[in-house]
Amino acid sequence: MSSHEQLGAADFAALRRAGFRPIGPVLGTCVNRIGWQRYPNLFGRRFAGVTSSLPTPDRLPAYSRTEGAWAELDVLTDAYNAARRTALERMRDEARRLGAMAVIGVRYRQTPAPTLRAHEFTAVGTAITSDRYELDETEALALTNLSGTELLTLMSSGYWPLGLVGGTAVVYVLAGWTNQYARSLRSKWDPSRNIELPDYTQGLYEARELVMKRMRAEARDVGATGVLNVALEWEHREHEVDRLGKAIDLILTVHALGTGLAQIANPSHGPIYYALSADARER
């Protein structure tokens, strides 16, 4: 399939108006075997211990005397981040061999986490070149999830994409007594009542913050002053444990990927800002 067939008519026309032409589809992929991940210990240093001040009878399950907490699962997190970086670098190498100066319309897929023992990250896009522009020796070949039309609009405003930036975080959420009590109320006493599960909520906030910190770091590494088209995805899996009684913990995986950009005429290194795309979703 030619690169012209990958593009819609509007995007192809926009590319030509911007001074670019497509030269071929490019792909980058990486499959990482996931190593053994130890789940955090309930009474370990990374989690809150037994809260003896809570007025709960000794006959209640152990989870009724613990506070909720969270900890990052570093083996899983590292596997996902490494696969993404490796796959995108391979895409960049393939585009460079074609003589490209950028890759647009990058789309990707990755295997669900964290149930599989291997993680795959695959990205595809359209390599473009130009008879009007060229990269200088200090500029890297840019990867972007922007379309041809979006690239034209961006350049018309005086900006250029610097590359895809992102991050992944896998967080284990220990559900404390408040969370477990809320689940019990909903399931046993009043199924029609809506009750927030606070530990799950806080865990998602913590995972998202870790991801955004990593995205900011990658954006600064490429010299970006902002990040556009941020795609935010998350997934969760319940994890049943026996803490002298059944408790349901949660494993959260959050991914983010966007295009770092800089002003062409007068780049600055101010605070990183974000534009979240409408396709943020839970898988």
Residue 46 identity (one-letter amino acid) = R
Are 20 and 139 members of one domain? yes
Are 226 and 281 members of one domain? yes
Per the listing, tokens 């130009």 go with: 130
- Asked whether residue 44 is assigned to any structural domain, the reply reads no
Q: What is the largest CA-CA distance in the chain?
A: 77
- pLDDT tens-digit profile, the chain (283 residues): 333 345 678 888 999 998 899 999 999 999 888 888 887 764 433 343 333 333 343 444 444 445 778 889 999 999 999 999 999 999 999 999 999 999 999 999 988 644 557 889 999 999 999 888 877 766 789 999 999 999 999 998 899 999 999 999 999 988 877 777 777 665 555 666 777 788 888 889 999 999 999 999 999 999 999 999 999 999 988 888 876 677 788 899 999 999 999 988 654 445 555 555 555 555 5
Are 152 and 162 members of one domain? no
* CA neighbor of 176 nearest in space, from 63, 71, 61: 63
The last residue of one of the domains, among 157, 175, 190, is: 157
Are 1 and 67 members of one domain? no
Are 146 and 251 members of one domain? no
Based on the number of CB atoms within 10 Å of its own CB, is 67 exposed (0-12), middle (13-18) or buried (19 or more)? middle
Please give the residue range of the domain that contains residue 27: 1-37+81-157
36: Cβ–Cβ under 8 A, 6 or more apart, which residues?
75
197: Cβ–Cβ under 8 A, 6 or more apart, which residues?
175, 179, 182, 183
HEC string for 233-251:
EEEEEEEEEECCCEEEEEE
